[in-house]
Amino acid sequence: MTTSKTPESSAAVPLLDLHALIAAVRRRRRLWCSMALLGLLLGAAVAVLLKPPPTAVTKVLVAHESDQPNDPGTLIRTDVALLGTTRIAGAALKALNSPLRAEDFMGDYTATGLTNNLLQITVTGAGDAQAVARAKALADAFIADHAQRMKAASDAEAKALLDQRDRMRSELAQVNKEIGTRAPGNDPKASASIESLFAHRAELSSRITDFDQRAAEARTGMPKLVAGTQIVDAPRAVPHSVPKAALTDAAIGLVLGLVLGLALAAVGSVVADRPVLRREIAANLGASVIAELPRRTGRRWRRRPGRTAEERLTATVVRAVRGAGEPVSLLELGCAHSTSLIALNVARALAVDGPVAVIDGLPGPELAAIPREPGDPAVVSGEDASGLAQRTRRLGVGSVAPGTAWLDLPHLGAQTVLVVRAGHAGAAWLHTVARQLTDQRIPVIGVVVVDPDPRDRTDGTLWDGLYTALRGHHERLARRNGTGPPRAERTATPPVRVPDSDQEAG
């Protein structure tokens, strides 16, 4: 992955940065954790509130006349379809003495082909006893219907064979009669005709015997098929455990909710295009990240590293402000309270060098609402800033959120430090901020990232000559115009970054 946006590497930037996508999804963990929890609760609620009706199940072994080892399941699918007909449903209801319509009863049971010859029937009822009785009646009705169909097919086949045999017998009698009318003679043609009649009689006799045998086999094979179709698993009620069902449905709901939440978070992150990584924030703002402020936590073992990070952040910003030589402003984007705290801490540190005043240019009361101790630097509004003494160092605090009055920003400071909350603003707005600050000729000393991704290991320093040393370019222009201080008064301060994690801070 690239660490800066350079002309040579701009073509190598991937269309979808997986590192940034994972960081953005991880940052939206509240969304997918909430979706997972919602799915878990909904799954448990469905299992408890929507209990399945009493159910019974039975299995029937079905023997087919044309069974083949390579049958793809066509015969058992036919049996499943036959079980869902009004004829079998009506026969089962008749055996149960039920006034229910066959069409309505068909919605209370299902059939499933487990193998080529094994059929499972699942029936619901008002109670376990009724469900078991319905399953038994359906299985018996199906077996009776299957036996009837097998017998009818066997009888039809036997009758067709016997009819063909009778036709052969009639033809044989005609041949025998014709043979009896022929007298033996010395005529060669007459002898050949008699031999042909004898051969035909032999063929007819053989075919009559074959038809008799096939008709007998058709009748004797049918009882075997009927006996092979039977109930192999007696109807029984299916036990239902509410805790087990609730646990299973809750687990399914948890997984589905988690997957849906992750998908929504990923899609939302791609659509919103809100930079989270230091590398992306620096590239979109055109300024290097000089420090970061981790999110506050209530855990005691994290408080001291958090205070250490705040102290290092304050020291970094103080060095940048001292090295500027001109009034500097802190402009926030999505973190007005944190920016106000940073401004007060920086003003307290600068107070050792002389009087300091904080100019409140925030649209809200975040800065004025922070309690202050005796001896803290004064906080004045933008209208009262003109009454400050000439020797008083000014530290402006403003906002670059949507709706900002861009023309008022130069009154807060000739240079600025941007304090940006990671993942708060989209890339388009960061570009807008950079463009507006450039139009107002306000160089960006650096960027302070608030609430960074704790697993972010990207570099927030821009090494491209087009983006680095914006402050130095501004100073050279000021010296050329005779409005800037001498070079000796401006000591270059290298960018300093707070450690990426509390482990590094410790």
289: which strand partners? 447
- Of 193, 217, 239, which residue is a domain's last? 239
Q: Answer yes or no: is 28 within a domain.
A: no
Of residues 458 and 247, the one with the higher pLDDT is 247
Instruction: Order the strands of the 55-61 sheet from edge to edge.
Output: 109-113, 118-124, 55-61, 230-237
Mean pLDDT within 402-422 = 90
pLDDT at 72 over 80: no
Q: Taking all residues of the chain, what is their mean pLDDT, rounded to a whole number?
A: 80
- What is the pLDDT confidence band of residue 486, given thresholds at 50, 70 and 90? very low
Residue 396 vs residues 205, 262, 347, 434: alpha-carbon distances, Å = 121, 41, 10, 18
Token pair for residue 455? 């697993």
Lowest mean pLDDT among 171-185, 199-213, 333-347: 171-185
Lowest mean pLDDT among 136-145, 348-357, 482-491: 482-491
Q: What is the pLDDT of residue 185?
A: 56
Q: How far apart are CA 289 and CA 279, in angstroms?
A: 8
- What is the pLDDT confidence band of residue 433, given thresholds at 50, 70 and 90? very high
Q: What is the pLDDT of residue 203?
A: 83
What is the tens place of the pLDDT at every residue in 28-41? Answer: 888 999 999 999 99
Mean pLDDT within 343-348 = 89
Residue 371 vs residues 142, 289, 310, 348, 404: alpha-carbon distances, Å = 85, 29, 18, 14, 26
142 and 288 both lie in a single domain: no
pLDDT at 503 over 50: no
CATH number, domain containing residue 466: 3.40.50
- What is the pLDDT confidence band of residue 373, given thresholds at 50, 70 and 90? confident
Q: Cβ atoms within 10 A of the Cβ of 18, count?
A: 9
446: which strand partners? 417
DSSP 156-222: HHHHHHHHHHHHHHHHHHHHHHHHHHPPP-S-HHHHHHHHHHHHHHHHHHHHHHHHHHHHHHHHHHH
What is the tens place of the pLDDT at every residue in 92-134? Answer: 999 999 999 999 999 999 999 998 889 999 999 989 999 999 9
pLDDT at 157 over 80: no
Q: How far apart are CA 204 and CA 200, in angstroms?
A: 6
Mean pLDDT within 152-159 = 77
pLDDT at 389 over 80: no
Q: Answer yes or no: is 167 within a domain.
A: yes
295 and 146 both lie in a single domain: no
Q: What is the pLDDT of residue 129?
A: 92
- What is the pLDDT confidence band of residue 387, given thresholds at 50, 70 and 90? confident
Q: Answer yes or no: is 67 within a domain.
A: yes
CA atoms within 13 A on the CB side of 399: 21
pLDDT at 304 over 60: no
Q: Answer yes or no: is 48 within a domain.
A: no
CB 291 within 8 A of CB 500: no
Winning range, highest mean pLDDT, from 164-173, 221-230, 428-437: 428-437
Q: Answer yes or no: is 260 within a domain.
A: no
Q: What is the pLDDT of residue 81?
A: 92
Q: Answer yes or no: is 427 within a domain.
A: yes
- Of 186, 221, 239, which residue is a domain's last? 239
CB 85 within 8 A of CB 245: no
Token pair for residue 18? 């997986």
Token pair for residue 178? 């014709």
279 and 388 both lie in a single domain: yes
233 and 279 both lie in a single domain: no
Cα 226 from chain centroid (whole Å):
51
333 and 377 both lie in a single domain: yes
Nearest to 267 by CA among 279, 259, 255: 259
Q: What is the pLDDT of residue 250?
A: 92
User: pLDDT exceeding 70 applies to what percent of the chain?
Assistant: 83
CB 437 within 8 A of CB 444: yes
212 and 291 both lie in a single domain: no
174 and 131 both lie in a single domain: yes
Q: What is the pLDDT of residue 186?
A: 57
334 and 291 both lie in a single domain: yes
227 and 366 both lie in a single domain: no
67 and 181 both lie in a single domain: yes
Lowest mean pLDDT among 45-49, 164-168, 256-260: 164-168
Q: Answer yes or no: is 168 within a domain.
A: yes
pLDDT at 332 over 80: yes
Q: How far apart are CA 199 and CA 169, in angstroms?
A: 15
Please count the structural domains in the chain. Answer: 2
232 and 286 both lie in a single domain: no
Angle at 161 between CA 156 and CA 163, to 5 degrees: 95
185 and 321 both lie in a single domain: no
Q: Which pairs count as long-range contacts for 17-24, CB under 8 Å and 24+ apart, including other chains?
A: 17/280, 19/277, 19/458, 20/275, 20/276, 20/277, 20/280, 21/266, 21/269, 21/270, 23/276, 23/277, 23/453, 23/455, 23/456, 24/265, 24/266, 24/269, 24/274, 24/276, 24/423
378-381 and 356-360 strand pairing: parallel
Mean pLDDT within 353-364 = 87
- b/e sequence 125-155, b meaning 16+ C-beta within 10 Å: beebebbbbbbbbbbebbbbbbbeebeeebe
Q: What is the pLDDT of residue 34?
A: 93
Mean pLDDT within 274-280 = 87
Q: Answer yes or no: is 454 within a domain.
A: yes
420's enclosing H/E stretch is strand 415-421
Cα 204 from chain centroid (whole Å):
75
User: pLDDT exceeding 90 applies to what percent of the chain?
Assistant: 27
Domain with 337, as residue range(s), is 273-505
Q: How far apart are CA 191 and CA 175, in angstroms?
A: 15
pLDDT at 480 over 60: no
